[in-house]
């Protein structure tokens, strides 16, 4: 049990896990000791910097969500992956750890023997998905070897499938095929990219002004500096929401502000948010510079033509303006969806009221914005991320009663792939028995391998 928990901790710590992957890749290339040590440490450093920036962003954005609830007096469910996973691990720690480890092996096997040549390196998201799958299969009554086998096959499949789904759009974002996206919000990122294509040319090319080409009047040229524009926009958002909260419920608002002035608080938090974005982008640059060359060894020796699937901030550097616009549009979409859910309840259609969580709408909404911008410019960014905000809200509402079967109250998963996988398998478990559910898991895993060999793609030098 101690060894199992240690392995789980190593694999679920993104910096250490990706550092080990970089080290393995460099060793397979027979690089010198200095190169291996440097590449491993720099890769870990890149991830530590990225995570530090993400923590700064999260610490600055969570009070904004709390102020929003206070200001507008809405009570409901706040989707949060970390919160619901902590509940799941308290009940199913061993099962989750086992499925997590076996699922990563299944991912490598699928990447080796199918066209889904993507190795999912966002360790904490893999752990979250393992926890979700464990909970859903437990609801279905699975236990023992069936639970572990079905869970590992499902996890291995989704870890390879979603990066494959996103690959065409990520190539448009990045400009090449060197990396993939390994983040379980991909279903809605893909949707945003497809929406963006509606605003593109007939040949599928992007049409119109991109978010990075937005022209500013001469007097506002300083706004081209992303750090300044992000800070100013966030200050406006913070100021408006904080002002309403102070007027309506001053006592509760004061609990967030502390003893400081609320205007100064808004200024500090908005600049802190911008600083967090700056740190994230710095970490991304460090990480990409190290992991891509190091991964060449794994691609050549273990899994031919494999690509590393990395966390969503890897694409933020390609369209920083889209990051901010995507967050704002997704958040507005979440508000619109919440209004619809409230109307449904008033009409007698019971539905969980999903509040717009600032974290999911920033990280996932921003990613959706970058993808929409890559295919449809400014219009694709705004519309695609708005639809993202609407869809993730309704998906979370659909999953909430399913997770309620295990007594999880007050929170649920937030990102699109978690809610989509949980909802689909949760509904499936209600209409089929455990044997059929295991067969479905096996079919999902085996089918890409069968197609790969039946079509002769295994003989090609590059994957389809």
Amino acid 463: pLDDT: 44
Average pLDDT of the segment spanning 5-23: 74
Give domain status of residue 464, yes or no.
Answer: no
Give domain status of residue 324, yes or no.
Answer: yes
Please, which residues bridge with residue 120 across strands? Answer: 309
Q: In angstroms, what CA-CA distances link 189 with 47, 197, 290?
A: 22, 13, 26
Average pLDDT of the segment spanning 149-171: 95
Taking a C-beta distance cutoff of 8 angstroms, is the pair 87, 95 a contact?
A: no
Give domain status of residue 57, yes or no.
Answer: yes
Give domain status of residue 110, yes or no.
Answer: yes
* Structure-model confidence comparison of residues 3 and 150, the more confident one: 150
Give domain status of residue 120, yes or no.
Answer: yes
Give domain status of residue 145, yes or no.
Answer: yes
**Residues in CB range of 67: below 8 A, 6 or more apart:** 238, 241, 242, 245, 253, 256
Q: In angstroms, what CA-CA distances link 345 with 75, 340, 342, 349, 353?
A: 13, 9, 5, 5, 9
> Residue 462: is its pLDDT beyond 50?
no
Number of domains in the chain: 1
* Angle in degrees, 0-180, between the axes of helices 358-403 and 186-197, rounded to the nearest 10: 120
The tens digit of pLDDT for each residue in 69-127 reads 787 776 667 787 877 887 787 788 778 878 887 888 899 899 999 999 999 988 778 88
Three-state secondary-structure class, residue 209: coil
Three-state secondary-structure class, residue 419: helix
Place of tokens 């992303």: 226
Torsion, Cα of 177, 372, 77, 342 (10° steps):
-160
Give domain status of residue 432, yes or no.
Answer: yes
Amino acid 357: pLDDT: 75
> Residue 22: is its pLDDT beyond 70?
yes
Lowest mean pLDDT among 47-56, 57-66, 120-129, 221-230: 221-230
Q: Please state, in angstroms and rounded to a whole number, the distance separating the CA atoms of residues 132 and 173.
A: 30
Q: Is 328 exposed, middle or buried (0-12, 13-18, 19+ CB in 10 A)?
A: buried
* Angle in degrees, 0-180, between the axes of helices 262-301 and 250-257, rounded to the nearest 10: 50
The tens digit of pLDDT for each residue in 385-438 reads 999 999 999 999 999 888 877 776 667 888 999 999 999 998 998 888 889 999
> Residue 216: is its pLDDT beyond 70?
no
Q: Please state, in angstroms and rounded to a whole number, the distance separating the CA atoms of residues 223 and 414.
A: 32
Taking a C-beta distance cutoff of 8 angstroms, is the pair 314, 181 a contact?
A: yes
pTM attached to this predicted model: 0.79
Amino acid 372: pLDDT: 94
Q: Which two tokens stand for residue 153?
A: 């096959």
Average pLDDT of the segment spanning 141-150: 90
The CA-based diameter of the chain, rounded to the nearest angstrom, is 68
Give domain status of residue 10, yes or no.
Answer: yes
* Domain that residue 310 falls in: 2-459
Taking a C-beta distance cutoff of 8 angstroms, is the pair 392, 419 a contact?
A: yes
Taking a C-beta distance cutoff of 8 angstroms, is the pair 359, 61 a contact?
A: yes
């Amino acid at each position: 049990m101690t060894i199992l928990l240690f392995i789980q901790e190593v694999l679920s710590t993104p910096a250490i896990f990706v550092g080990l992957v970089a080290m393995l890749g460099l060793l397979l290339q027979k690089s010198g000791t200095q190169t291996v040590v440097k590449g491993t440490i720099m890769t870990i450093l890149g991830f530590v910097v990225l995570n530090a920036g993400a923590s700064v962003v999260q610490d600055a954005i969570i009070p904004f969500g709390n102020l929003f609830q206070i200001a507008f007096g809405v009570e409901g469910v706040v989707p949060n992956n970390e919160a619901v996973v902590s509940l799941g691990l308290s009940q199913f720690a061993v099962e989750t750890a086992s499925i997590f480890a076996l699922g990563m092996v299944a991912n490598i096997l699928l990447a080796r023997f199918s066209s889904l040549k993507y190795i999912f390196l966002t360790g904490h998201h893999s752990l979250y998905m393992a926890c979700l799958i464990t909970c859903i299969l437990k609801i279905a009554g699975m236990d023992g070897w069936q639970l572990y086998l079905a869970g590992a096959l499902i996890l291995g499949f989704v870890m390879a499938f979603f990066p494959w789904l996103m690959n065409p759009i990520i190539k448009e974002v990045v400009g090449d095929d060197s990396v993939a996206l390994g983040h379980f919000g991909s279903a809605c990122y893909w949707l945003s990219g497809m929406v963006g294509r509606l605003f593109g040319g007939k040949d599928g090319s992007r049409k119109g002004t991109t978010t990075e080409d937005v022209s500013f009047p001469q007097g506002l040229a300083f706004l081209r500096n992303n750090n300044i524009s992000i800070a100013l926009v966030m200050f406006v958002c913070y100021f408006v929401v904080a002002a309403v909260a102070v007027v309506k419920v001053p006592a509760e608002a004061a609990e967030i502000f502390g003893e400081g002035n609320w205007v100064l608080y808004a200024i500090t938090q908005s600049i802190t948010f911008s600083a967090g974005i700056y740190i994230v982008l710095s970490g991304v640059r460090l990480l990409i510079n190290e992991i891509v060359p190091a991964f060449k060894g794994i691609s050549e020796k273990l899994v031919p033509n494999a690509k590393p699937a990395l966390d969503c901030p890897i694409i933020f550097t390609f369209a920083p303006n889209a990051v901010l616009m995507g967050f704002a549009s997704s958040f507005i979409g979440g508000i619109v969806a919440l209004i619809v859910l409230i109307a449904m309840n008033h009409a007698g259609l019971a539905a969980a009221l999903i509040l717009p969580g600032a974290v999911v709408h920033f990280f996932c909404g921003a990613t959706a914005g970058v993808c929409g911008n890559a295919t449809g410019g400014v219009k694709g960014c705004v519309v695609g991320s708005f639809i993202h905000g609407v869809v993730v809200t309704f998906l979370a509402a659909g999953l909430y009663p399913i997770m309620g079967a295990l007594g999880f109250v007050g929170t649920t998963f937030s990102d699109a792939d978690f809610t989509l996988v949980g909802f689909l398998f949760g509904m499936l478990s209600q209409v089929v028995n455990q044997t059929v559910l295991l067969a479905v898991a096996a079919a999902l895993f085996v089918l890409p391998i069968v197609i790969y060999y039946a079509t002769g793609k295994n003989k090609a030098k590059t994957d389809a």
